């Protein structure tokens, strides 16, 4: 069965622009969680969605937002991009809510470069 | 002090050696995860455990809840095991994951 699909895989933006990243979970998985990975900060939890509702949010500014659709696909948006937003953005899906307490399947990531 | 500490940060081994990576955490958890990340970024979940020990092939993960410590062991290491190994803990609420800094493992033939 298909894995977790993230699009786009690579993108380049300039400061001040906004970006939308997409994540399609494994069929049947209803939880999607998002993570940011940078060389300086490592992996950090952004947020988790389950049944179209945000269940938890990490310590990121309001420029980072997300949503989940009825088919469990999720998008995250970053507005007013800053250089420090350059990172690998990963999503993961699981059957149940509470990403930290369930086996996760990760996507390949979207690598964002902000110039 | 980070909530999740891994050691060592870097590890170089010869093929066939027994490898241990350690993870200590300071918060209450619902589960602990061991993840593997290869160059290019893709992450694979190796184990999720909340007590005891799990084994999958040459990989073994243990956790001691009282001591807030987990270990990942690789027996008979192979160059294809070269990757970054990341420990992550799920908060007691279950939702948020907190990650260690990772251990870069290089296994030489």
| φ and ψ of A30, to 5 deg | -110, -10
Residue B4 region by backbone torsions, left for phi larger than 0, else alpha for psi between -120 and 50, else beta: beta
Cα A29–chain centre separation? 15
Q: DSSP H helical segments within A1-115, as ranges?
A: none
Distance CA A19, CA B91 (A): 29
What residues in A contact B45, CB-CB < 8 Å?
A: 103-106
Q: What is the pLDDT of residues B40-90, one digit of tens each?
A: 778 999 999 999 999 999 999 999 999 999 999 999 999 999 999 999 999
Q: What is the mean pLDDT of residues B13-25?
A: 97
What residues in B contact A56, CB-CB < 8 Å?
A: 93, 95-96
| φ and ψ of B82, to 5 deg | -60, 120
| Record: contact B91-A35, CB cut-off 8 A | no
Q: Give the per-residue pLDDT at B1.
A: 60
What residues in A contact B51, CB-CB < 8 Å?
A: none
Interface of B with A (CB under 8 A): 29-31, 33, 35, 40-45, 48, 86, 88-91, 93-102
């Amino acid at each position: 069965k298909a894995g977790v699909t993230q699009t786009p895989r690579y993108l380049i933006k300039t400061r001040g622009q906004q970006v939308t990243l997409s994540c399609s979970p494994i069929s049947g998985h209803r939880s999607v969680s998002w993570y940011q990975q940078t060389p300086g900060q490592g992996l950090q939890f952004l947020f988790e969605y389950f049944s179209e509702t945000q269940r938890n949010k990490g310590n990121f500014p309001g420029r980072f937002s997300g949503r989940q659709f009825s088919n469990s696909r999720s998008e995250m948006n970053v507005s007013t991009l800053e250089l420090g937003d350059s990172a690998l953005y990963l999503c993961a899906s699981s059957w149940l809510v509470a990403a930290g307490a369930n086996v996760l399947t990760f996507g390949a990531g979207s690598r964002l470069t902000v110039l | 002090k980070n909530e999740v500490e891994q050691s060592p940060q870097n590890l170089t081994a010869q093929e066939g050696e027994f490898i241990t990576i350690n993870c200590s955490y300071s918060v209450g958890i619902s589960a602990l995860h061991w993840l593997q990340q290869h160059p290019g970024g893709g992450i694979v979940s190796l184990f999720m455990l909340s007590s005891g020990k799990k084994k999958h092939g040459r990989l073994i993960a243990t956790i001691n809840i009282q001591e807030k410590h987990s270990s990942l062991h690789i027996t008979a290491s192979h160059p294809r095991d070269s990757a970054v190994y990341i420990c992550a803990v799920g908060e007691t609420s279950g939702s948020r994951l907190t990650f260690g800094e990772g251990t870069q493992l290089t296994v030489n033939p």
